[in-house]
A and B are shown apart, each in its own frame.
Chain A
Amino acid sequence: DAKTTQPPSMDCAEGRAANLPCNHSTISGNEYVYWYRQIHSQGPQYIIHGLKNNETNEMASLIITEDRKSSTLILPHATLRDTAVYYCIVHSNSGYALNFGKGTSLLVTP
Protein backbone atom coordinates (compact mmCIF):
# COMPACT_ATOMS: atom_id res chain seq x y z
CA ASP A 1 0.00 0.00 0.00
CA ALA A 2 1.11 3.56 -0.73
CA LYS A 3 2.42 5.78 2.06
CA THR A 4 0.57 8.82 3.35
CA THR A 5 1.74 12.12 4.85
CA GLN A 6 -0.35 14.05 7.36
CA PRO A 7 0.37 17.05 9.58
CA PRO A 8 1.14 15.84 13.11
CA SER A 9 -1.39 18.12 14.80
CA MET A 10 -4.18 20.60 14.11
CA ASP A 11 -6.53 22.75 16.17
CA CYS A 12 -10.13 23.62 15.38
CA ALA A 13 -12.68 25.73 17.19
CA GLU A 14 -15.89 24.00 18.22
CA GLY A 15 -18.64 24.51 15.65
CA ARG A 16 -16.23 25.29 12.83
CA ALA A 17 -15.31 22.96 9.98
CA ALA A 18 -12.21 20.85 10.48
CA ASN A 19 -10.28 20.21 7.27
CA LEU A 20 -7.67 17.47 7.61
CA PRO A 21 -5.26 17.09 4.67
CA CYS A 22 -3.47 13.98 3.50
CA ASN A 23 -0.87 13.47 0.78
CA HIS A 24 -0.63 10.13 -1.01
CA SER A 25 1.38 10.92 -4.12
CA THR A 26 2.32 7.27 -4.83
CA ILE A 27 -1.24 5.95 -4.75
CA SER A 28 -1.95 3.35 -7.42
CA GLY A 29 -5.10 2.91 -9.48
CA ASN A 30 -6.74 0.20 -7.38
CA GLU A 31 -6.05 1.76 -3.99
CA TYR A 32 -8.75 3.43 -1.95
CA VAL A 33 -8.33 6.26 0.55
CA TYR A 34 -9.66 5.34 3.98
CA TRP A 35 -10.04 7.55 7.04
CA TYR A 36 -10.21 6.26 10.59
CA ARG A 37 -10.05 8.07 13.88
CA GLN A 38 -9.00 6.95 17.33
CA ILE A 39 -10.26 8.65 20.44
CA HIS A 40 -7.89 8.25 23.36
CA SER A 41 -7.52 4.60 24.47
CA GLN A 42 -10.39 3.40 22.27
CA GLY A 43 -10.35 1.26 19.14
CA PRO A 44 -10.03 2.95 15.74
CA GLN A 45 -13.36 4.05 14.28
CA TYR A 46 -14.03 3.86 10.53
CA ILE A 47 -15.12 7.22 9.11
CA ILE A 48 -15.25 7.12 5.32
CA HIS A 49 -13.46 5.88 2.22
CA GLY A 50 -13.31 6.73 -1.48
CA LEU A 51 -11.61 5.90 -4.76
CA LYS A 52 -11.78 9.05 -6.90
CA ASN A 53 -15.15 10.67 -6.40
CA ASN A 54 -15.96 12.85 -3.43
CA GLU A 55 -17.88 11.02 -0.75
CA THR A 56 -20.15 12.14 2.08
CA ASN A 57 -21.76 10.31 4.96
CA GLU A 58 -23.28 11.24 8.29
CA MET A 59 -19.87 11.72 9.87
CA ALA A 60 -17.78 13.52 7.29
CA SER A 61 -16.98 14.41 3.70
CA LEU A 62 -14.00 13.18 1.72
CA ILE A 63 -12.60 15.31 -1.07
CA ILE A 64 -10.08 13.59 -3.38
CA THR A 65 -8.13 15.63 -5.92
CA GLU A 66 -8.49 14.76 -9.58
CA ASP A 67 -4.98 13.32 -9.77
CA ARG A 68 -5.70 11.34 -6.55
CA LYS A 69 -2.41 12.43 -5.01
CA SER A 70 -4.06 14.11 -2.04
CA SER A 71 -7.33 14.23 -0.15
CA THR A 72 -9.07 16.22 2.59
CA LEU A 73 -11.36 14.94 5.30
CA ILE A 74 -13.94 17.51 6.33
CA LEU A 75 -15.81 17.44 9.62
CA PRO A 76 -18.42 20.11 8.89
CA HIS A 77 -19.22 21.21 12.45
CA ALA A 78 -16.54 19.98 14.84
CA THR A 79 -17.50 19.17 18.42
CA LEU A 80 -15.33 18.51 21.48
CA ARG A 81 -16.03 14.78 20.97
CA ASP A 82 -14.23 14.94 17.62
CA THR A 83 -10.90 15.40 19.43
CA ALA A 84 -8.93 12.34 18.30
CA VAL A 85 -6.07 11.09 16.15
CA TYR A 86 -7.18 10.91 12.51
CA TYR A 87 -5.51 8.40 10.23
CA CYS A 88 -5.48 8.61 6.45
CA ILE A 89 -4.77 5.16 4.99
CA VAL A 90 -4.33 4.00 1.41
CA HIS A 91 -5.46 0.40 1.08
CA SER A 92 -6.38 -2.07 -1.60
CA ASN A 93 -6.14 -5.64 -0.42
CA SER A 94 -8.76 -7.58 1.43
CA GLY A 95 -7.46 -9.37 4.49
CA TYR A 96 -4.28 -7.39 4.80
CA ALA A 97 -2.93 -4.87 7.28
CA LEU A 98 -4.09 -1.31 7.45
CA ASN A 99 -0.91 0.78 7.55
CA PHE A 100 -1.96 3.49 9.96
CA GLY A 101 1.00 5.84 9.77
CA LYS A 102 1.36 8.58 12.38
CA GLY A 103 -1.96 10.37 11.82
CA THR A 104 -3.06 13.90 12.72
CA SER A 105 -3.92 14.71 16.31
CA LEU A 106 -6.96 17.01 16.09
CA LEU A 107 -7.80 19.14 19.11
CA VAL A 108 -11.21 20.77 19.10
CA THR A 109 -11.35 23.69 21.52
CA PRO A 110 -14.37 25.42 23.08
Chain B
Amino acid sequence: DTEVTQTPKHLVMGMTNKKSLKCEQHMGHRAMYWYKQKAKKPPELMFVYSYEKLSINESVPSRFSPECPNSSLLNLHLHALQPEDSALYLCASSQGELAGPTDTQYFGPGTRLTVL
Protein backbone atom coordinates (compact mmCIF):
# COMPACT_ATOMS: atom_id res chain seq x y z
CA ASP B 1 0.00 0.00 0.00
CA THR B 2 1.45 3.35 -1.05
CA GLU B 3 -1.43 5.59 -0.07
CA VAL B 4 -1.10 9.10 1.24
CA THR B 5 -4.40 10.77 2.12
CA GLN B 6 -5.10 14.50 2.28
CA THR B 7 -8.07 16.44 3.60
CA PRO B 8 -9.90 18.47 2.58
CA LYS B 9 -9.89 18.01 -1.20
CA HIS B 10 -10.95 21.60 -1.76
CA LEU B 11 -10.75 24.62 0.52
CA VAL B 12 -11.93 28.19 0.02
CA MET B 13 -10.85 30.72 2.62
CA GLY B 14 -10.75 34.45 3.15
CA MET B 15 -7.59 36.37 3.88
CA THR B 16 -8.45 36.67 7.58
CA ASN B 17 -9.34 33.01 8.11
CA LYS B 18 -7.32 30.33 9.89
CA LYS B 19 -7.51 26.85 8.40
CA SER B 20 -5.47 23.64 8.39
CA LEU B 21 -4.59 21.06 5.78
CA LYS B 22 -4.10 17.48 6.91
CA CYS B 23 -2.00 14.64 5.53
CA GLU B 24 -1.79 11.04 6.73
CA GLN B 25 0.23 7.96 5.78
CA HIS B 26 0.40 4.49 7.30
CA MET B 27 3.40 3.14 5.43
CA GLY B 28 5.80 3.63 8.32
CA HIS B 29 7.55 6.39 6.42
CA ARG B 30 9.72 8.71 8.48
CA ALA B 31 10.04 11.61 6.03
CA MET B 32 7.08 13.79 5.07
CA TYR B 33 6.91 16.71 2.70
CA TRP B 34 4.74 19.67 1.72
CA TYR B 35 4.88 20.87 -1.89
CA LYS B 36 3.03 23.77 -3.50
CA GLN B 37 1.94 23.68 -7.14
CA LYS B 38 0.68 26.73 -8.99
CA ALA B 39 -1.36 26.31 -12.15
CA LYS B 40 0.63 24.97 -15.12
CA LYS B 41 3.83 24.82 -13.03
CA PRO B 42 5.68 21.86 -11.48
CA PRO B 43 5.44 21.19 -7.73
CA GLU B 44 7.87 23.11 -5.53
CA LEU B 45 9.08 21.98 -2.12
CA MET B 46 7.96 23.94 0.94
CA PHE B 47 8.92 21.83 3.99
CA VAL B 48 10.48 18.49 4.89
CA TYR B 49 10.01 16.66 8.18
CA SER B 50 12.39 13.87 9.09
CA TYR B 51 11.61 11.75 12.15
CA GLU B 52 8.96 14.31 13.13
CA LYS B 53 11.44 17.18 13.16
CA LEU B 54 11.48 20.01 10.64
CA SER B 55 14.60 19.52 8.55
CA ILE B 56 14.01 21.80 5.56
CA ASN B 57 12.08 25.07 5.26
CA GLU B 58 12.44 26.50 1.76
CA SER B 59 12.10 30.11 2.93
CA VAL B 60 8.33 29.78 3.19
CA PRO B 61 6.46 32.81 4.63
CA SER B 62 5.39 32.45 8.26
CA ARG B 63 1.71 32.53 7.30
CA PHE B 64 2.30 28.83 6.49
CA SER B 65 3.05 26.85 9.64
CA PRO B 66 3.77 23.11 9.41
CA GLU B 67 3.29 20.64 12.22
CA CYS B 68 4.09 16.95 12.56
CA PRO B 69 2.22 15.65 15.63
CA ASN B 70 3.34 12.06 15.07
CA SER B 71 5.05 9.89 12.48
CA SER B 72 1.84 9.33 10.50
CA LEU B 73 0.40 12.85 10.43
CA LEU B 74 1.45 16.11 8.88
CA ASN B 75 -0.49 19.35 9.12
CA LEU B 76 -0.14 22.70 7.40
CA HIS B 77 -1.70 25.58 9.32
CA LEU B 78 -2.75 28.57 7.25
CA HIS B 79 -3.31 32.10 8.51
CA ALA B 80 -3.65 35.48 6.83
CA LEU B 81 -3.05 34.07 3.35
CA GLN B 82 -3.01 36.13 0.19
CA PRO B 83 -4.86 35.42 -3.08
CA GLU B 84 -1.52 34.51 -4.70
CA ASP B 85 -1.27 31.59 -2.25
CA SER B 86 -4.07 29.87 -4.14
CA ALA B 87 -2.59 26.61 -5.40
CA LEU B 88 -2.64 22.81 -5.15
CA TYR B 89 -0.93 21.76 -1.92
CA LEU B 90 0.62 18.33 -2.10
CA CYS B 91 1.79 16.10 0.71
CA ALA B 92 4.31 13.32 0.14
CA SER B 93 6.07 10.74 2.26
CA SER B 94 9.10 8.50 1.92
CA GLN B 95 11.06 6.03 4.01
CA GLY B 96 13.68 8.66 4.77
CA GLU B 97 17.25 7.97 5.76
CA LEU B 98 16.66 4.24 6.28
CA ALA B 99 15.83 3.81 2.59
CA GLY B 100 19.45 3.53 1.57
CA PRO B 101 20.54 4.90 -1.81
CA THR B 102 17.00 5.34 -3.13
CA ASP B 103 14.11 6.95 -1.32
CA THR B 104 10.92 7.08 -3.34
CA GLN B 105 8.42 9.81 -2.49
CA TYR B 106 4.72 8.96 -2.68
CA PHE B 107 2.22 11.76 -3.10
CA GLY B 108 -1.29 12.38 -1.89
CA PRO B 109 -4.06 13.71 -4.16
CA GLY B 110 -3.58 17.27 -2.95
CA THR B 111 -5.77 20.01 -1.51
CA ARG B 112 -6.96 22.67 -3.96
CA LEU B 113 -6.82 25.94 -2.02
CA THR B 114 -8.51 29.14 -3.13
CA VAL B 115 -7.89 32.34 -1.17
CA LEU B 116 -10.44 35.09 -1.73
Contact = CB atoms under 8 A, between A and B. Distances in A.
Interface string B82-104: 00000010101011110101111
Contacts of A92: 101
Contacts of B102: 32, 49, 51
A30 to B, nearest CB: 7
Contacts of A45: 107
Contacts of A101: 42
A8 to B, nearest CB: 12
B45 interface: yes
Contacts of A94: 31, 94-97, 99, 103
A41 B2 CA distance: 19
A41 B56 CA distance: 26
Interface string A42-64: 11111001010000000000000
Given A42-B110, A44-B107, A46-B104, A87 B94 contact: no
Contacts of B25: none
Nearest to A92: B101
Contact of B104 (A34, A43, A96): A34
Interface size class of A (residues with CB under 8 A): 20 to 34
Nearest to A32: B102
Given A43-B108, A95-B48, A100 B94 contact: no
A92 B99 CA distance: 11
A46 B101 contact: no
Contacts of A43: 4, 6, 90, 92, 107-110
Contacts of B109: 42-43
Contact of A32 (B6, B58, B92, B101): B101
Contacts of B101: 30, 32, 51, 92
Interface of A: 30, 32, 34, 36, 41-46, 49, 51, 87, 92-98, 100-103
